[in-house]
């Protein structure tokens, strides 16, 4: 999973088995045949890694996981602060250190801060292109993530997902 995945061009269509000497029309959809399963598994793992690094606001870490067709060019070059998020925030939530990005916005005239990120140690694996190590460690923690949904130090709700990502929100009083 740690190496780049090549773009492949598979034409859509599910081929049903032949009936006698007649080959039926292809059905709409995609069929991942046994010879393509490893490639597809690779694509899914790297796409998940891209989603997590983008969620944490790190376009540079994201681009390494996407093929050209998946939009890697959208994460390269100049990014204006208003059009993207930047992995520039660290928060300790429910006793876990996370890295990610935060945004302040108004919700019914109330100022709210939202933080999105990934557990820092897991993120460092993704940032370094170590998808296999990330997958092993996140799997080992599958039953260890906190079940709490409120962090009194953060003063707001926190949602930690099994993939190591977090979303936390709080009302800003000043």
pLDDT in tens, 121-143: 999 999 999 999 999 999 999 99
Answer positive or negative: Cα dihedral of 69, 120, 87, 92.
Answer: positive
User: Bridge partners of 78?
Assistant: none
DSSP 8-state code for residue 15: -
Assigned token pair, 87: 């992995």
pLDDT confidence of residue 86: 61
Q: How many helices (H) and strands (E) does the chain have?
A: 4, 6
SS3 44: helix
pLDDT, tens digit, 9 for 90 and up, residues 17-55: 888 888 888 888 888 888 888 988 988 999 999 999 988
Please tell me the distance from the alpha carbon of residue 107 to that of residue 115, in angstroms, as a whole number: 15
Prediction pTM value: 0.78
Please tell me the distance from the alpha carbon of residue 168 to that of residue 93, in angstroms, as a whole number: 8
Domains of the chain, by residue range, sit at 34-76+87-171
pLDDT, tens digit, 9 for 90 and up, residues 71-129: 756 655 555 443 455 667 899 999 999 999 999 999 999 999 999 999 999 999 999 99
3-state helix vs strand vs coil in the chain, percent to 5: 30, 25, 45
pLDDT confidence of residue 83: 41
């Amino acid at each position: 999973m740690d190496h780049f995945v090549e773009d492949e061009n598979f034409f859509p269509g599910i081929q049903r088995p032949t009936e006698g000497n007649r080959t039926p029309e292809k059905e709409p959809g995609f069929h991942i045949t046994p010879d393509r399963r490893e490639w597809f598994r690779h694509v899914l793992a790297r796409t998940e890694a891209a989603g997590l690094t983008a969620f944490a606001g790190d376009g540079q870490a994201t681009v390494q996981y996407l093929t050209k067709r998946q939009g890697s060019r959208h994460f390269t070059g100049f990014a204006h602060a208003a059009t993207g998020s930047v992995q520039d925030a660290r928060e300790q939530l429910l006793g876990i250190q996370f890295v990610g990005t935060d945004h302040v916005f108004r919700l019914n005239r109330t100022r709210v801060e939202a933080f999105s990120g990934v557990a820092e140690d897991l993120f460092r694996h993704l940032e370094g292109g170590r998808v296999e190590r990330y997958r092993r460690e996140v799997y080992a923690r599958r039953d260890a993530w906190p079940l709490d949904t409120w962090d009194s130090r953060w003063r707001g709700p926190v949602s930690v997902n099994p993939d190591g990502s977090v979303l936390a929100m709080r009302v800003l009083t000043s």
